Amino acid sequence: MNEIIAAGPGLSAWLILAGVLFSVGVYGVLSRRNLIAILCSVELMANAVNINLVAFSRFHGDTLGQAFALFGIALTVAEVGVGLAIVMLVYRQRQGIDIDDLHDLLG
């Protein structure tokens, strides 16, 4: 199976890239107050997970990780649709999308 792998970046390079993307996403979620920026940061974290799935799939020689990555992308698209709908409703109610203004929605 190892002869199938073409020349290119090794597994560690992909894992480092995914780790950096995930770290940037976590920093964005924890430090931002804008709902759109938080959604973008969550997207970065989801893409880092997909990079890990595809990288391990490629270097182990099976396609199961790539199938999981496609399923993850489909879930991410659905999450973006629901998230943007929530942001639009919050903007209509509050005339802003600052996360600090949503403390009364805690229930």
The string of pLDDT tens digits covering residues 46-55 is 999 999 999 9
Kindly list the structural domains of the chain, giving each domain's residue range(s) and its CATH number in brackets, ordered by start: 10-105 (1.10.287.3510)
CA-only gyration radius of the chain, Å: 18
Residue 45: count other Cβ atoms within 10 Å of its Cβ. Answer: 19
Half-sphere exposure in the Cβ direction for 22 (13 Å, CA): 12
Task: Please state, for a pLDDT cut of 70, what percent of the chain lies above it.
Answer: 86
Residue 24: count other Cβ atoms within 10 Å of its Cβ. Answer: 14
The string of pLDDT tens digits covering residues 23-60 is 999 999 999 888 888 889 999 999 999 999 999 898 88
- pTM (2 d.p.): 0.77
pLDDT of residue 7: 65
pLDDT of residue 106: 64
What six digits make up the tokens of 49?
């997970």
Residue 25: count other Cβ atoms within 10 Å of its Cβ. Answer: 21
